[in-house]
Structures are given as C-alpha cells and as structure tokens.
Structure 1
C-alpha cells in the first residue's frame, strides 16, 4: 500500500468520525459505565458445566484458545471489522493454537478429536466470528479436501505448510449463478497435454484474495462430472478481487475469482474428486464445524451481556436487577445449553461412525437459527449500545447473517434432513420435476 493511499485512508477516517475534524472519543471515555469487548469478559455461559464432558486434551485446548483469543484478538477485532480488513499480523497467533488441519492425522496436522476441533471453533467464534471463518475455510474445507481426496504426494506437498499457516488456502465451489444449486456449476476443466485448462468464475470465496493455495471445483468437459484441482496463487489467467460492502464477517476477505484458461498440471488434480458426491464427505464434516460457530458466537454474546447488565445502571440500579432483563438473559442461557448439547452429540455421532448428512445439516440449520434468536435478545438488552461494534453484540448480530446462509442455507440444510427422514427429495419445485419427465 502506498503512502498516498494510507494518508487518504486516514483523512477518510477523520471525516467519518467527526465533522469538525476531531477524532471520536475513546469508548471508555465516552461511555465509562460499561467495559467494551476489547477487554473480553470471563466465561459465564457454561451453566450446566459442560466442561465435565470434555477430555483432558479438549479442556487444555479450550483454555489455550480462550487465552490467545482474549489477549491477542479481542483488542483489535473491532478496528479491523470496521475497516473490513484482515489482520495479517495475528496469523502467527492463530498458528500457535495448532488447530489447522483439525482431525487430520500426520503431515504436521494436529490429529484432534472432532470434539476438540469443534470446541476450538466455538472458542475462536466466541471472540470473533471472522477469525473462526478464516480458520474453517482454510482447515475444514481446503485442507480437509486435500486430506480426504488428494494423492499421497499432494498431502505431503501441501498439508505441512498449511498446518503451520505458512501458507493459506481457500475453497472455491460457489459461482455467481450457482449457490445452493452448486452441482450445476459452469466452471469447466478441459483435458490438455500434461494437465487441464480451467475456465469459469467463482464468487463468495473466503480467503481467496490472499490465498496461496486454491482448491477449485470444475466440470470435466469429457465426463460432465465435477473434478477438484489445486491452483496456486499467481497462476496465469487467475484473478481474485475482494467483494466490497458486506454487513457481516467484514474481516473475512470474500472474493470473486475469474478463471481464464488457467493451466493446472496433472499432479495438481485431486484424484478423489470424481463427482459432486465426493464433495459431500467434506461438507458433512465442515457442517459440524460450522454448527459450532453460532454456538461460540452466542457464548460470547451471553458473556458480554452478563457483564454489561451488572455494570450498566439505570433508575438507580444495575440493569441485571430488572425482571425483564433477567428473563431475556435466562432465555439466552437456555438456548446456549441446548445448542451445546446438539453440537456435542453431533461430534459423538461422527466419532462413532453414525453421523449422517441429515444429522450434520440439522445441526447447522438449528444452531444458526437459535443463535439468531439469542443474539437478537442480546441486542435488546444492550439498548443503544446494542448497535455499537465496541460491545460485540452488534457485530455478532451482523456476523450471524452470512453464517445463517453459508455451508447450505437454513432452508437447504432443512431439506437435506427432510429428504433423509422422508425419503423424498424436494429441492426442485414440483413443476420443474414434472417438466423434466416430459
């Protein structure tokens, strides 16, 4: 970034904060009665003592993630969320958690239990949802695809560096015309001497503007089936640009990717992706992880609200003393206890080999819906401060909206579970299904 652009940014910030050119008051000075989220509150949400359900390894990891997130991420998250920029300087801190790669064994990956991996996602999301999305895209989508669908040579080449965050990955499935209907993608892969040529466009791809490794899905022009490819940053014909003006997960750098005659050598085609169904084994695991994001966000909102209601006074008493506020706080608390149990049970089903795609989809759909309710109650409890990112709740309120829609919208995930329990697929309108039979 040039000095000129930095100066322009500083001027713009000054104009935005005050018409008279003065900077805005620090939140601690402007509102001394309550502590902002840059100083994160202690954990108060675990009312049913779920910590007792965790192994020693899982408890240790949970505490480690809490400490790093509260100390290193909480102080900077509002600043970068407002700027819609990624704090690259915190990547080494996230690397120190040793969670990238999650359940993958070997290749420098941590080989965590899925419960430990899920707990780490929740604890990252408790402080900042954007950081949890950054890790999820990198680890539970891109790295997991290489681990489950890659060759031995690909695993050895890419996973060790990704596990240390020395390189960053993204996962490119969604296209401008195909979101929920991802299997109808138009990006193509054409066989040529020594490899493949990819053509097409992807959209909403997290981490894509700076990713070193891009896992890209395309339709094989010979077989008409979906294949997977590893594309390297800077490949000729590859262009990734940032999607601007998001209201949620603003720290996450979602991108539009233009793919124009990008050559991928044979050694970078993922041999385990030969149809769209092969992506489902990745999505099933990632949906378990994504189900824990709303749980973690709700945990953080509850902890902030719990502290806020005891600090903030009106009518001569702390807000925590009012019956209406206590009822809302207890409503939030009950939601979180139920959400945690659903997420924990999902992990145990996966570990026992009993989890189905319907189980994973219901977990993601239901936790994101209950989190919406929980965070909305938190926004009410904070009154005017409920629209300030400084107190986390407004930020979490916005961050939940993209999570409600990605990794399968609430509706699509409901239909996945509905198909499983009824045996009837209802993704396409009946009129279209009827026309296809004519």
Structure 2
C-alpha cells in the first residue's frame, strides 16, 4: 500500500491559514468553527493593534489602560451574535477566547474573565431563575459589571472554614421576606476590577445559621470602602482592591437565592477553575512566541541564537509544555461540555498547567538572556505575571490535595 498522499486527499484543515500555527502544534484550533475563528481573529487584530502597543508602559506604571475597556466590550465576545443564533457560545470558543487574551497579556485576560467567568458564574449558579432573567442579559452586554468577592485578608486557601464576613438579617414589616434587609460587616481582599464594577458579589456568613450566603452589593453603597492594593510585582495592570464592609445594607432581592451554603460556592469554583487553566496555557503560548521571535532575530557569535543546540532544546521543552497544557484544557472543556463537572478535574488542570507555566516562562526568560528582564521583549511581563496566576483560584498545594482526595478517598486537608 502506498503511503503517498495526493494533494486532493489533504484535509481542508491542513491548508487553511491558522491563527495558532506556532504554539498550537497539534492543531487544537481545528475544533473551532469558521465563525468562531473569525471572532477570535477580530479579537487578535484588536489586541495586536490597540492593546499590545500600550502594555509595557501601563504595566510599568501599574495602571490599567481604561481606553481599552469599551472597545473590548464592543467586540461582543461573551455571546457573539453570529455564534449564538441557536444557543449559547460553545465552550471551546470560550476557552480559546481566554487563551487569545492571555497569550497577549495576563491582566487583560483576568480583567475580561472577572466579568465573563467569575461574575457570570456567580449569577448563573447562584441566582434564581427570576434573578437570572433580570440580570444575565445585563451581565452579557456589560451593562451590569460585577466582581467576585470571596477572598479575605486572613482567609485564602482556608476560605471554606475561615470566611469571617458576616450577614445579619433584619426582618421587614411585611408578612413575606421581600422587605427584609441584610447587614454586612467584614473585609475582602485581592478583588480584581472592583473599582470599576457596578456591584460586588459578596460572600458572607449568615449569623443565624452559620451558612454562607451571597449578595450583590452596590460598589458605592454606604459603608463600602475600596482601597487599591499597591506594590504588586505581578498583574500590575490589573487593579486589585481591599474592600471594607461596615454596616452595609442590602435588600433581600439582591441576595443570590441559590447560594445557601459553601457547597454552592464550591460549585462555582469548580466551574471557574478551568478558566484559570486556559489563562495559564495562554501565558505559556505568549512567552514561547516572544522567546521564539527573539532567538530568530538576535545574533551572537555571528549566528542567530536559534541556531544553538541548547537554545533549541529549551524551545522544544517550552513547546512541549504548551502542547501538553492545551491538550489538557481542551479535553477538560470537552468533558464539561458533556455536563461532567468534578472538583478533581478542574483542580488537576489548574495545578498542572500552572506548574508547566512556571517552567515555560522561566525557560523563555533564559533564552532571551539579559534582555529578558526588560519589558521590551514581552518575556519579562509574562514571567512576572505567571506568579500571580500560579497562586490564584487555588494554590498548587490545595489543588493537589483535591486530586489526592479523589484518588485515595482520604482528605489530607488540615482540620
């Protein structure tokens, strides 16, 4: 049998112009439809022409380029009209949307997913059907901007048991609960995008039953104080806030009615953690592409850096990491598309992609040499931002213990 392949037998996917021809070695992009690729292509054009020229300057200043916010929203990325005539946008598109943002900049990806991932999931999972009908269209078109406010100054990994923000219910004068008011006291920390949000999705412990509840708090409500967290060495463009809640009053109608324990919060985290795995994968792609550009242009000893054996070995390892991570998140996305959401699945993806991300950005920094600590090549930005992504949405250790619990049936979490 001949092993030769005629030109007519070559699949269309081989001949099409690919968006991710360098970093997507096994062509996961082929799982996208032409319409999805067109939307992602428009996003790439925006990122390359409007965002990328600003990134180094704003990263160094520690400020977010606010002039990008409205054009990014107007791209209609969350539920693009051309993709959703017969239903919501597919998960594989949503994953590659995060990937595309992150391969340009981690802060941009975090900024967008704060709304499209974290806040939207809070509404999708936590709101009643009636609340979803009112709020979800506004979430999708960004006319209601919100942030996910769970982490506290003294509780990160132990937030399930350590959450100390309180919610006290005051009964109204009517016969039903509609006139009831909740009074919130406490603090939240590391809340990205809070300063430009309309509402804060705040998680607090009910003083009556000790269970966790969730509330949409107006950012400018009396008793709400926001303070910008300064001195960060990662995600410098993303504005994170320390939030103080002092006697903040919230009507019962603004309580997310399907959040009645931390178990409901865990369901949100289970769905959102896969987004961070896509971000970690995108950061790897961006760092790898930046390093590859550099070594093909930079000359040393009269030869391109890319011609040296040790450099090529590092490039191959980086590509292997990106390919492994992309394969992992695509498969996880396929599982979740079938309705399979397990803590250990998203935890494994976040743990492994973040671990490989750390190695990939370090290798990129190595091959770029001294210039790798400047913002000129993009590598330094990816290298620094990776440290934040490595920790948020569950540290390596916490995610490893979630996987270990599933493997052994034994919980190793501290009691």
Flag whether TM exceeds 0.5 (same fold).
yes
**1:306 maps to which residue?**
292
CA–CA distance in 1 between the matches of 2:338 and 2:124?
A: 20
Counterpart of 1:187 (choices 161, 165, 172) is 165
SS at match of 1:418: helix
**2:407 maps to which residue?**
421
SS at match of 1:47: coil
Quick check: 2:28–2:330 contact (8 Å CA) kept in 1? no
1:88-237 → structure 2 map (5 Å cutoff): 88-100=66-78, 111-183=88-160, 184-192=162-170, 193=172, 194-237=180-223
CA–CA distance in 2 between the matches of 1:365 and 1:227?
A: 28
**1:269 maps to which residue?**
255
**1:47 maps to which residue?**
25
TM-score (norm 1): 0.84
SS at match of 2:148: strand
Instruction: List alignment gaps of at least 5 residues for structure 1.
Output: 1-40, 434-438
SS at match of 1:381: helix
1:392-424 CA-partner distances (Å, limit 9, x unpaired):
111111101111110010110111111111111
CA–CA distance in 2 between the matches of 1:165 and 1:355?
A: 27
Matched residues, number:
386
Distance 1:89 1:156, change over 3 A: farther
Query: How much does 1:355 deviate?
Result: 3.4
- The CA RMSD measured in Å over matched residues stands at 2.0
Distance 1:111 1:292, change over 3 A: same
1:322-341 → structure 2 map (5 Å cutoff): 322-341=308-327
Quick check: 1:130–1:250 contact (8 Å CA) kept in 2? yes
Q: Which runs of 4+ in 1 moved over 4 A?
A: none
Quick check: 2:147–2:201 contact (8 Å CA) kept in 1? yes
TM-score (norm 2): 0.89
CA–CA distance in 2 between the matches of 1:250 and 1:101?
A: 28
Query: How much does 1:88 deviate?
Result: 1.3
Quick check: 1:216–1:228 contact (8 Å CA) kept in 2? yes
Counterpart of 2:41 (choices 51, 63, 67) is 63
Counterpart of 2:365 (choices 374, 379, 395) is 379
Quick check: 1:100–1:138 contact (8 Å CA) kept in 2? no
Counterpart of 1:245 (choices 231, 253, 273) is 231
CA–CA distance in 1 between the matches of 2:251 and 2:78?
A: 26
Counterpart of 1:406 (choices 387, 392, 399) is 392
Quick check: 1:44–1:306 contact (8 Å CA) kept in 2? no
Quick check: 1:101–1:140 contact (8 Å CA) kept in 2? no
Q: Is 137-146 or 396-405 further displaced after alignment?
A: 137-146
Quick check: 2:119–2:147 contact (8 Å CA) kept in 1? yes
CA–CA distance in 1 between the matches of 2:108 and 2:413?
A: 32
Quick check: 1:218–1:228 contact (8 Å CA) kept in 2? yes
Query: How much does 1:235 deviate?
Result: 0.3
Query: How much does 1:43 deviate?
Result: 5.3
Quick check: 1:335–1:374 contact (8 Å CA) kept in 2? yes
Within the alignment, does 1:321 sit opposite 2:307 as a pair?
yes
